[in-house]
Amino acid sequence: MRPHSNSITAAASRAAMLSMAPMAPAYQGLLDALRAHGIEPADPGEVVADGVLHRFQIEGDKRGSRNGWAVLHQDHGAAGSWKSGVTCTWSAKATAKMTRQEKDEHYSRVRQAQATAQRQREADHQAAAERASMLWAKATPAMAEHPYLVKKRIPPGHARQAGDLLVLKIEDVNGNTRSLQYIGPDGVKRMLSGGAKRGHFIIVAGLLPAPIVVIAEGWATAMTASSQFPGACTLAAVDAGNLEPVALAIRGKYPAAEIVICADDDRCTDGNPGLTKARAAAAAVHGKLCRPVWPPGIPLEASDLNDVAVYLEANNA
């Protein structure tokens, strides 16, 4: 019995749909590994298997950022995040099934890919450092009337200004300019593209070396802390995740310094990252921990020393 023409049409249609279905890339295994490590590309199309280093935006990162990197071939590759430091590798053939020679070749290619990524990262950092020095030289002393300074009730300190942006210099323990942080009138912060941050800091008050080094998370908090630690060198680590790297850098350069970590108390945030990271930083360098003491009536969203100072001043306490 001949098949009904509708059946033939349906079968042909299904075949056409199958032929048109996109094929998974040969390196789908690496994309799966990236996802498992929390560094999934926002656009998988940015990851190309051509043996060349490619940068990509990681899912969940700020639009336009390029913290992810990958060096891929059709049958192997390596990738990672410059932001978190996480890396992963992939091979179309499981390493357990490789011969000794194949394993040696695989790991050699992985090391080459990682070295390529590291060289690119260092080149980015150096270019950003040179750009930061130039931009810092062009910036002018910040005006006390800047809206962010007025809101935070702090003086300009060492801050400079470019247009309506505050400009803060980020340097390393050797005094080299490494990057810049910008703060807008609305308090929105951004870092200079490509600049190095890990282990680097903003000097808010005092000079290094100093017998006491105070490290706070943000610049406004560090400005407030500096008034409570006269004679100390006060630094801003930019964010909570950089508290420990900065503390370790200071301890490595100045073994005898007393280090005080000023914590943000993110009491309304799950896990209280500010206090958690500050405690870890203090423990890592056998330092001391300073945390806010909440005056009666202060709003729950208050989280740092500057919030306390602003509240007390506003209420004439």
Tens of pLDDT along the chain (317 residues)?
A: 444 444 334 433 333 333 333 334 556 777 888 888 898 999 988 888 888 899 999 999 888 888 899 988 888 888 999 888 888 888 877 777 878 888 888 788 888 888 888 898 899 999 999 999 999 999 999 999 999 999 999 999 999 999 999 999 999 999 999 999 999 999 999 999 999 999 999 999 999 999 999 999 999 999 999 999 999 999 999 999 999 999 999 999 999 999 999 999 999 999 999 999 999 999 999 999 999 999 999 999 999 999 999 999 999 86
- C-alpha–C-alpha distance, residues 113 and 109, integer Å: 6
Tokens of 80: 């990672």
Residue 53 backbone zone (phi > 0: left; psi -120 to 50: alpha; other: beta): beta
Of the candidates 236, 230, 224, 186, which has an alpha carbon nearest to the alpha carbon of residue 313? 224
